[in-house]
Structure 1
């Protein structure tokens, strides 16, 4: 009767040892890669604003995707990343987008903030991030510093504008005055889970056809938030 418990203890010890050895083999991987999935949330700002344009409320962005991590040095702590992602963004502000009698889009600044309860435009993008990546990682260290800088292309799949106020409810989509292609500079920096993320758009949100008082609306997207990476 005593031999059975001794045998079970020996068996469990052997299994544990085997799993530990397998884990060690998995952990010490000389060809390891890092941070191939990402998810983030940003607060969206508007740069190069026209006179009297202001933001109101929370303008949020949600981002997720996959980046192929390709180390370029022997230590594998320097890499190039190329990926594919999705982004959803909203911008709450006081730029009224409406149509005139000829069915053309018009743009004006809402001066009285008490005259409306909602005024925003939103977009959904497919994105192509390209990054130069540095990190202090090793094959066995999962907590490390990182600085990732890069460039991101975005193609706008859909966009909408919504207004609710003294003029009633105004909703539009498929406004050709929005630039379909968005691109800008990116940077992620941080330690372990928490990473500050920055995006600065290099081209305007609107095309040159979108104007206020015969002047083009050259405002661009600026995003500040947190990015989380997963193997």
Structure 2
């Protein structure tokens, strides 16, 4: 995720600067709002098994386009339908490895001092759907917003990486990951700065992924900031 993260960081910086610049233009009675977005999140793991814990800072980067479709005369209530990209990492102490037969195994690393890196990451194409309420007008560029919605994601690639006493262990596109991810979203704020929350409704792993004989039901929870521009 190193190179995509750098690119998205610069895009976020551009969005923040651009969103604060208001140019003079003719009043558009059929105006639309917030059609491009970019965000950064702190990624948490929900429903974690016993003895599994997160470590370090797990980041997510998100950007995309949402078609804004107002549904009332004042155009401050709308439906949004879009397409986006998301890159996410999760640092934790669940070692993902393979045995001599090629089967994927899951074990908890009890001594965190035995490794310097242990994470899994993913890149997704996402379809956000939002119900949008805001206090905007055709001439007011600074307004409050509350957007609730649903997001469906398809995992393009996922990777695991361990560096420690066992050496370097890396795998790509393990079958135990769920290729489809979906969850509820909420963004709310004023002008440029908006809080963002995503709560996944399905697990990161499929039912084939088991720790000590039990399914790994961990899901993704993302909390951060999202920026909107026209």
TM-score (norm 1): 0.89
Classify 1:111/1:29 alpha carbon distance in 2 versus 1 (closer, same or farther; 3 Å): same
Aligned residues, how many?
209
Partner of 1:211: 210
Partner of 2:176: 177
The answer to whether structure 1 residue 81 and structure 2 residue 80 are counterparts is yes
Partner of 1:223: 222
The answer to whether structure 1 residue 60 and structure 2 residue 59 are counterparts is yes
Write out aligned runs for 1:136-151 (5 A): 136-151=135-150
> Secondary structure of the residue that 1:123 maps to in structure 2?
strand
* Partner deviation per Cα, 1:91-113 (whole Å, 9 max, x = no partner): 00000000011101000110001
Q: CA offset at residue 25 of structure 1? A: 9.2
TM-score (norm 2): 0.89
Distance 1:29 1:86 in 2: 30
Contact 1:156 1:181 in 2 (8 A): yes
The answer to whether structure 1 residue 34 and structure 2 residue 33 are counterparts is yes
Contact 1:71 1:80 in 2 (8 A): yes
Contact 1:135 1:147 in 2 (8 A): yes
Distance 1:149 1:109 in 2: 36
Q: CA offset at residue 24 of structure 1? A: 10
> Secondary structure of the residue that 1:114 maps to in structure 2?
helix
Which 5+ residue runs of structure 2 have no aligned equivalent? 1-21
Contact 1:184 1:200 in 2 (8 A): yes
Which 5+ residue runs of structure 1 have no aligned equivalent? 1-22
Partner of 1:154: 153
Distance 1:104 1:153 in 2: 29
Partner of 1:124: 123
Distance 1:167 1:86 in 2: 33
Classify 1:223/1:25 alpha carbon distance in 2 versus 1 (closer, same or farther; 3 Å): closer
* Partner deviation per Cα, 1:191-222 (whole Å, 9 max, x = no partner): 00000000000000000000011100000000
Q: CA offset at residue 54 of structure 1? A: 0.5
Distance 1:100 1:24 in 2: 60
* Partner deviation per Cα, 1:162-206 (whole Å, 9 max, x = no partner): 000010000000100000000000000000000000000000000
**Runs of 4+ in structure 1 over 2 Å off:** 23-27
Contact 1:63 1:85 in 2 (8 A): yes
> Secondary structure of the residue that 1:79 maps to in structure 2?
strand
